Chains A and B, each alone.
Chain A
Amino acid sequence: MTMPLLYDVTLRDGSHANQHSFAANFCATYIDTAYAAGIRYLEVGHGNGLGGSSLNIGRLKDGDLWKIVAEKAVLYSDLRVGAHVIPGLATFEDIDLAIANGVNVFRIASHCTEADTTETYIEHAAGHDQEVWGLLMLAHMVKPDLLAREAKKMESYGASRIVFLDSAGALTPSMVRCITEELRTVVEVPIGFHAHNNLHAAIANSLTALAAGCNSIDVCAGGYGAGAGNLSLEALVSLLEKDGLSTGLDIRKIIGLAALIEQYFSTSLPKVDSLSIATGFHGVFSGFKPKILEAAAAFKVDAMDIIVALGKAQVIAGQEDQIIATASQLSKEAKQS
């Protein structure tokens, strides 16, 4: 195995864990520490990326994040700063603003069956000479051959890498192997994987993805991300080093990044609990967790019933309003019976 590209999504996926409240000065400290540890790709922003800040999903608390990004992008000329872009939330103007602030990697994401919504966005970012990746979210919801067909579309639009996201932490290692192998057969550009830990499988799935031929992995310090969290950066690096792979990273400083997260976010550290198991089993987007709890309390219904209903209705990321609609409906049904 060669050294995979580690893409640090802590300052983006971690936003889900703290209700999109990263402070600009914390981000500055994090970026400095990560850079010193050897991280060269990292992503910043709202949990749902550009244009995600909303009442529906959660408002971004600190509007100064971009100032910090702009500053660090100048300071560290070999640091690649990424933004997550979901067509439907973000606009071309959002991409232009991010470029002006030093972002130079655009990860254009769609639900795993809707790659053609990314066409004009990929072309827009690529047209500004940016590095553009194609991301397929909630990859558990479709068979590997159909996923590969969507990946192929993104490749044809100009994506230089395809990442499949286990956004609900619902994949097993054998599923990850099948998907990776299928993608490698169909797609010529490199493949990456993004794990969630709902079923405690982030590490197992990521190691399987690497063994099967993925060569980039999304990581979070302390696993700090949506729902039960993501793949823990420090655990992956430790495992790779122990297996004799020289990562070139400063392991002490990498562990220090996790310590930084523990210090600042002691009340929102991710854990695998009953709700995350339920979302993983029913294939419900990890980022929904706080919204499910909020709606369950407001409409006095069982969070577990909401999860089962959302899974059955095949609700996707961005449909946070449907959590409220589902809770409202369950509450109506309870009153009628």
Chain B
Amino acid sequence: MSERIKRVAILGSGNIGCDLLVKCLYTDGIEVVSVAGRHAQSKGLEFAARRGVPTTDRSIEGVLEDGEKPDILIDCTSASHHQHNYDLCKRHGIRIVDMTPAKLGLACCPAVNLDRCLGADNINMISCGGQASIPICFAIKQANPHIQYIEIVSTISSASAGPGTRKNISEYITATQKAISSMLNINEVKVMINVSPAMPPIHMKTSILVNSEDVASEVDARGRIEAVAATTRAYVPGYHTSVELSRLGGKMMCQVQVAGSGHYLPAYAGNLDIINCAALEVIQRL
């Protein structure tokens, strides 16, 4: 880890951007030089301004106008805006950490491939469901290298799903599928997501399902899952297995639950927390 203070700009002032801002303010070695949005009246920009952070309502153009450019830009906009943001960052020599399901950067899950991502100019954080499931998929794949099918089902609370999330469901599915498939070299990956209106809001849950015949040893797989869950917990404190790997006829399932840190949204928003904790882990190592 370098000693120098990292200058970070947060692009996007929705739930993801605000939660990341709080996390960055709590972290030594990171200075948030700008939070950018598109609407002067946005709640998120006001939230940032109240914390003494410079803000702009002119999106990435506003960030780049400043004399001293950030080292890292965190893109919390949406998949359709990411290409434009990436092009501008490349031109200015700014590294980009992408929180959208745009599929342009190198897909990163810190528990699995952080070291291999550190040289990339664009690091993609995949999705909340990706961050929750990839460590478990990795453990199962390690124990059973020939596995060809894996499935993940995430349920997030309605209260934690902002408008961006709701408009990007198809992109979320395809980006998460592609990232898991290529990162772990698994032929077929099926991704599903539910938005639960249950009150009080539930914590984020992600289930991982495989064909029983693909798992050589249940005990071995369980041990590896617990080990990788502990690795993940080191940067996502609320991450734990809620159902240990169980066999039901032709399928096996395990489930993880993610309680959020409660930085910006309450603890139910584990989905917000896990992708942001993962991004923070990356930024600290850059």
Contact = CB atoms under 8 A, between A and B. Distances in A.
Given A324-B243, A324-B248, A318 B192 contact: yes
B15 to A, nearest CB: 15
B255 A321 contact: yes
Contacts of A314: 196-199
Band of interface residues on A: 35 or more
Contacts, number: 111
Could you say which interface size class chain B belongs to? 35 or more
Contacts of A119: 166-167
A88 B192 contact: yes
Interface in B165-217: 166-170, 173-174, 190, 192-199, 202, 205, 207, 209-211
A51 B193 CA distance: 11
A93 B169 CA distance: 12
A238 interface: no
A133 interface: no
B142 interface: no
Contacts of B250: 55
Contacts of A298: 246-249
A328 B243 contact: yes
Contacts of A182: none
A111 interface: yes
Contacts of A208: none
Contacts of A141: 197
B242 A325 contact: yes
B251 interface: yes
A153 to B, nearest CB: 11
Contact of B253 (A87, A93, A124, A321): A321
A312 to B, nearest CB: 10
Contacts of A316: 194, 196-198
A88 B253 contact: no
A92 to B, nearest CB: 5
A88 B151 contact: no
A325 B202 CA distance: 14
Contacts of B209: 54-56, 321
Nearest to A295: B248
A315 interface: yes
Contacts of B242: 325
Contacts of A320: 153
B52 interface: no
Contacts of A313: 198, 202
Given A56-B207, A314-B198, A319-B194, A113 B167 contact: no
A294 interface: yes
A114 interface: yes
Contacts of A87: 169-170
A100 interface: no
Contacts of B243: 324-325, 328
A116 B169 CA distance: 11
B155 interface: yes
B67 interface: no
A319 B196 contact: yes
Contacts of B173: 51, 88, 91
A319 B155 contact: yes
B3 to A, nearest CB: 44
12 contacts: A51-B173, A55-B209, A56-B192, A88-B194, A91-B174, A114-B166, A119-B166, A298-B247, A315-B198, A318-B153, A319-B196, A321-B207
A-B complex: 5 closest residue pairs judged by Cβ atoms: A321-B207, A314-B198, A55-B209, A113-B197, A318-B194
Given A319-B194, A324-B248, 13 more contacts: A54-B153, A54-B190, A56-B153, A88-B173, A88-B195, A116-B166, A119-B167, A298-B246, A299-B246, A316-B194, A316-B196, A324-B246, A328-B243
